[in-house]
Amino acid sequence: MKLSNDRVEELLDMEAKLEALESGGVANWDGYFIALIEYNKAAAAKKRIEIIFDAMLAIIVDGIEEPEGVGAGCGISPDARIEALNLLQNSVIPK
């Protein structure tokens, strides 16, 4: 079974949400809303990081020169983008 990158991200997000709820004491429901506040903060931070990263990437890519001439190509693969984004997110978002 192969998962798309989008599905993996969705599952990781769901796992983080569950961990946040469990850490907040969802078993007794007293910490439910507090746990969601922390989860939403982390989710918002992750989205901000992705927006910042995409802006950084656009700046970098805009400045890339094609050393072999126009059309020879130079760029970044989708897997490399995801790897770099994950590195940035894991460096900034507390676990």
DSSP string, 18-44: HHHHHHTTTTTSTTHHHHHHHHHHHHH
Q: Is 85 exposed, middle or buried (0-12, 13-18, 19+ CB in 10 A)?
A: middle
Summarize pLDDT for 32-69 with one digit per residue, the tens: 777 778 888 889 988 888 888 887 777 666 655 555 66
Please indicate whether residue 68 or residue 19 has the higher confidence score (pLDDT).
19
82 pLDDT higher than 60: yes
The number of beta carbons lying within 10 Å of the beta carbon of residue 67 is 7
Query: Where exactly are the structural domains of the chain?
Result: 5-92
